[in-house]
Amino acid sequence: MEKLELWDKEYFWHPFTQMKVYREEENLIFERGEGVYLYDIKGRRFIDAISSLWCNVHGHNHPKLNKALIDQLQKVAHTTTLGSSNVPAILLAKRLVEIAPKGLTKVFYSEDGAEAVEIAIKLAYQYWGNKGEKRKAFITLSEAYHGDTLGAVSLGGIDLFHGTYKDLLFESIKLPSPYLFCKEKYGRLCDECKQELLNMLEEILKSREDIVAVSLEAGIQGAAGMLPFPRGFLRGVRELTRKYNTLLIVDEVATGFGRTGTMFYCEQEEVSPDFMCLGKGITGGYLPLAATLTTEEVFNAFLGEFGELKHFYHGHTYTGNNLACAVALANLEVFEEERTLEKLQPKIEHLRKRLEEFWELKHVGDVRQLGFMAGIELVKDKKTGERFPYGERTGFKVGYKCRERGVFLRPLGDVMVLMMPLVISIEEMDHVLDTLKWAIGSL
């Protein structure tokens, strides 16, 4: 056990982690999971309140998901989909099209959310090329997050993560982050601020004919600290991209598979984008898999004789992996069998009620929620909104404290994120919320 801790610090470079600090601290090393609980190598139990970075849906070690994997494993673990096919990848593509917004009829697989976005970028760019139009510019939002590969970073707008690489990126035109813009100018999300943002977008679209696509997250900017959009903003963007003949990329990597209360957020605004990027919850949190869904119109632009070179020169070794697709199919079956979305609705309401209590806390500056996604922003001074100095890692310390009472959280800076597995019970939710309240209260 001590050896594992030692070797972890000796050999393993962790993502998004300052290793100097990590190596000075005691870290959790998980060994097994059961439902919403994770157990570490010391036998301690924690509620996984961030769904293992927003991907777990029906809990860990789910018998049905396990069985789907074992069944597939006994057939074959992986076969290439470059020019050949496999059974679970076909069945999953069909199923995804059935549940996706109408108009999305084609599925292109990859392994992580960033790749799903990367593929949307390349498809959108080549779509115009194949149609004989030269277009190069993308419109995106400040504070956007689409993953960490360079194309996805180019569409991103979080300086802290993305600033370092700016010389390597292609340029994109950035609209303000809707939440921050509305807060600053109107004090809240409202129709006026929505309209003002849409007017800004319209001005750009009107003046340029080289826009490849507009890209945005669905309904909420997750990684920026859970910043929701005004209702109807996504729909407004869809209408403008249609009006000015450009494409729309909607990133549902975080919001997909029930997180906002419906299978996809797009449903809530009756939006059907040209590209919908999926990842995270697609396998219920079991294996890396992502998908870029697109339309008949886009697909058809890539059809041609072999020598015309119109096809999409893109693929990964594990594209459409058999095991990942098998467990993703089972994930969707469990949604139906366990009536996950129906049972989620009272939990969303419960979360809403309980989040109100957090406003009373001295160091809480803002509380935000969309469906089952929530963020609680910590501030040094509630009146002025002054933040804690970045180097103090206040959010991290609160998360660390929650471990004392068996809750595992990972904040985004000083925003405490709640992204509980959809299957969590009201009692377990209460334990998470009580613990977080206590930990923030102890600041």
Residue 223 binds to ligand PLP (criterion: CB under 6 A): yes
- Window of 113-121, 130-138, 159-167, 367-375 that interacts with ligand PLP by CB under 6 A: 113-121
Name residue 84's amino acid.
S
**Looking at beta carbons only, is 253 or 298 nearer to ligand PLP?**
253
**Looking at beta carbons only, is 251 or 366 nearer to ligand PLP?**
251
The β-bridge partners of 228 are: 220
Residue 424 binds to ligand PLP (criterion: CB under 6 A): no
> Which residue among 109, 128, 145, 264 contacts ligand PLP (CB under 6 A)?
145
Q: Are 96 and 267 in contact (CB under 8 A)?
A: no
The least CB distance from residue 54 to ligand PLP, in Å, is: 6
For the chain, what is the total number of helices (H) and then of strands (E)? 16, 16
- Window of 165-173, 217-225, 358-366, 399-407 that interacts with ligand PLP by CB under 6 A: 217-225
CA distance 56 to 283: 8
CA distance 410 to 396: 7
CA distance 181 to 192: 11
The least CB distance from residue 255 to ligand PLP, in Å, is: 7
> Which residue among 146, 347, 354, 363 contacts ligand PLP (CB under 6 A)?
146
CA distance 368 to 438: 19
**Max Cα-Cα span within the chain:** 67
Q: Are 336 and 373 in contact (CB under 8 A)?
A: no
Tokens of 199: 């007017």
The least CB distance from residue 158 to ligand PLP, in Å, is: 11
In three-state form (DSSP H/G/I as H, E/B as E, the rest C), the secondary structure along 185-234 is HHCCCCHHHHHHHHHHHHHHHHHCCCEEEEEEECCEECCCCCEECCCCHH
Residue 222 binds to ligand PLP (criterion: CB under 6 A): yes
By DSSP bridging, strand 290-295 and strand 104-110 are: antiparallel
The least CB distance from residue 232 to ligand PLP, in Å, is: 20
Residues near 215 by Cβ (< 8 Å), separated by ≥ 6? Answer: 117, 120, 121, 138, 139, 140, 144, 146, 155, 248, 249, 250, 251
CA distance 380 to 378: 7
The least CB distance from residue 222 to ligand PLP, in Å, is: 4
Residue 114 binds to ligand PLP (criterion: CB under 6 A): yes
Cα angle value 97/210/312 (rounded, 5°): 40
* Phi, psi (degrees; rounded to nearest 5) at 418: -115, 115
**Looking at beta carbons only, is 59 or 279 nearer to ligand PLP?**
279
Interaction residues for ligand PLP, span 267-286 (CB under 6 A)? 279-280
- Window of 95-103, 162-170, 246-254, 368-376 that interacts with ligand PLP by CB under 6 A: 246-254
Segment holding 337, helix H or strand E: helix 322-337
The least CB distance from residue 253 to ligand PLP, in Å, is: 4
> Which residue among 35, 101, 113, 228 contacts ligand PLP (CB under 6 A)?
113
> Which residue among 46, 81, 112, 214 contacts ligand PLP (CB under 6 A)?
112
- Window of 120-128, 247-255, 307-315, 426-434 that interacts with ligand PLP by CB under 6 A: 247-255
- Window of 90-98, 143-151, 168-176, 204-212 that interacts with ligand PLP by CB under 6 A: 143-151
CA distance 326 to 79: 13
Interaction residues for ligand PLP, span 391-420 (CB under 6 A)? none
Residue 371 binds to ligand PLP (criterion: CB under 6 A): no
Q: How far is CA 441 from CA 325, 326, 364, 423, in A?
A: 44, 44, 9, 27
**Looking at beta carbons only, is 218 or 330 nearer to ligand PLP?**
218
Residue 153 binds to ligand PLP (criterion: CB under 6 A): no
**Looking at beta carbons only, is 227 or 330 nearer to ligand PLP?**
227
Interaction residues for ligand PLP, span 26-85 (CB under 6 A)? none
The least CB distance from residue 338 to ligand PLP, in Å, is: 24
Residue 228 binds to ligand PLP (criterion: CB under 6 A): no
**Interface with ligand PLP (CB under 6 A):** 112-114, 117, 145-147, 217, 222-223, 251, 253-254, 279-280
